[in-house]
Amino acid sequence: MNYQAPLRDMRFVLHELFDVTGHCQQLGNGLDRETIDDVLEEAARFAAEVVAPLNRNSDEQGCRLENGEVTTPDGFAQAYKLFVEQGWASMTGPLAFGGQGFPQMVSANFHEMLMSASLSFRVYSGLTEGTVLALHRHGSEALKARYLGPLVSGEWTGTMCLTEPQAGTDLALLRTRAQPQADGSYQLSGSKIFISGGEQDLSDNIIHLVLARLPDAPPGIKGISLFLVPKRLVNADGSLGERNSLSCGALEHKMGIKGASTCVMNFDGATGWLVGQPNQGLACMFTMMNDARFQVGLQGLGIAEAAFQGGLAYARERLQSRAITGPVAPEKPADPIIVHPDVRRMLLTQKTLSEGCRMLAAYAARQLDLEHGAADPAQRDAANRRAALLIPMIKAFFTDCGQEVASLGVQLYGGHGYIREWGMEQLMRDSRITQLYEGTNGIQALDLIRRKLLGDGGSELNALIDELSTQVAFATSHPEMAERVSQRLQEWRALAESILQACRRDPEEIGAVSVDFLAYSAYVMLAALWLQAAVRASEALQAGTGETAFYQTKLQSADFYLRRILPRAGAHREALLAGASCLMAMPQSHFAF
């Protein structure tokens, strides 16, 4: 399967829908349209020519653990070296430590490309960027001076060490211990599981951010601290010293992303340093987690785009049967399957979900940029609230879409989709983890209800609906589409209020409504974005830009989404209004068989 970055759609989203140039001017980073487009062109070339060719073999070969050392699949080390040398690793890093300071609104497109080309390859660099973010925000000046430069450049990589065998989502059960030392360092002991990139042969050093408990820590999540623990200790002059007392005990045998080393990491009195304040580790880690959850959402989008490209190519080439209305290609023994309505349904579902998620990713990336880079503190605070509302939707909905679109890719190929050599089943296997790690999608849905909706009484959600409703009011070129979206926005507001009341009456409703409400919210959010895309497309057609087919396709895609995908929101609404009683009434013993 040959991957090509969807550059035209990315430019539409960045320039025509969200004015990324104006966004960059507001941030003061000096990026103009020509520079952004040139960077994305080079990014597309790197993804297609360097990374994508690694994907198939990485799934077949996987990683190997021998004598405590992990070997990544053939070609990964060389590709990672190019990734660093060409400056891609430092794309989002802070300027003060050698980074290029690209905003998320731009870099997210490159990261999506990497996810599509090879999710396994992207795993290694993705968590490094989160390590940089957490250390830059919470680390001491001494730690930042010693570690941030090589992390930003990609010379060193980073990990996030949270999960233990008994402590996954519930970090209150965490047991790893940190013992203070006379020199101000700590000795960490314990085991962590599911550590992406915990050991590999791509970088000279690996910087682990580890959650652990101090001896006098209070119980529960209030007693968790964050520590920086390097694979190799770093000398005062920045050179690498002896290996730390930590090791990779095993590699997990996984369903997918087999080219990414997922490790059991054992810390046996390993030397580490406190990041942030004692017992405030979870707050520090959430800086990293929010970025990681956005990136996992992009993984779902990247998988979806790759599956759509594979499905479309096959549907154009595969000859089976004749069109219902008569031969479309009479000179051939059969018509390409793209003439069949059900194949069109699958392709359009793939296309509109992928492109809709790309629009929402850009919208959210803008909030993440403003949260950190806006000059006005009030604007930073507003962007923080909006990003917090959107992150659980992006992580959960995008990854659900990635699995659905990958499954449709398998279906489009028929029996060949079930065969490994065609690549579709790998996408489906690779995408499955995205619904699980960095907080399962059910946890994201609970976060949306408990922390966001109940947390402020629906204030931020209502502000979002107000913003979208204002945009709908200006969509006079598409009155029918606008009316569909307007009705859903009003329904969304009323539904949120109904949920607030139900959850206050009965806490069980929080868990009962959460997954359906998140899905409902995302489908309606995408509908509002597709309406904006239709308005921009109509404006471009009226202006006579010369890209008639592209903009007509946007209008047709928007129409399909609003008619055939948006109605799913109604099913989620009906389900969540059914209440918690039908879920909780059955005694546990009745589940026996």
Q: In angstroms, rounded to a whole number, what is the distance separating the alpha carbons of residues 343 and 351?
A: 12
Closest CA to 469 of 450, 449, 485: 485
Q: Which residues pair with 212 in a beta bridge?
A: 225
Half-sphere exposure of 574 (CA within 13 A, CB side): 5
438 is an active site residue? yes
Q: In angstroms, rounded to a whole number, what is the distance separating the alpha carbons of residues 564 and 339?
A: 18
User: Rounded to the nearest 10 degrees, how much is the dihedral formed by the CA atoms of 140, 145, 147, 150?
Assistant: 150
Q: Which residues pair with 589 in a beta bridge?
A: none
* Per-position b or e across 59-82, b if 16+ CB within 10 A of its CB: bebbbebeeeebbbbebbeebbee
C-beta of residue 117 within 8 angstroms of C-beta of residue 51:
yes
Closest CA to 360 of 515, 525, 564, 474: 525
Half-sphere exposure of 496 (CA within 13 A, CB side): 27
Structure-block tokens of residue 488: 């859903």
Q: Which runs of consecutive H residues, i.e. helices, occur in 139-280?
A: 141-153
Q: In angstroms, rounded to a whole number, what is the distance separating the alpha carbons of residues 487 and 481?
A: 10
Closest CA to 403 of 441, 370, 371: 441
- Looking at 16, 199, 404, 438, which residue is catalytic? 438
Active site residues: 438
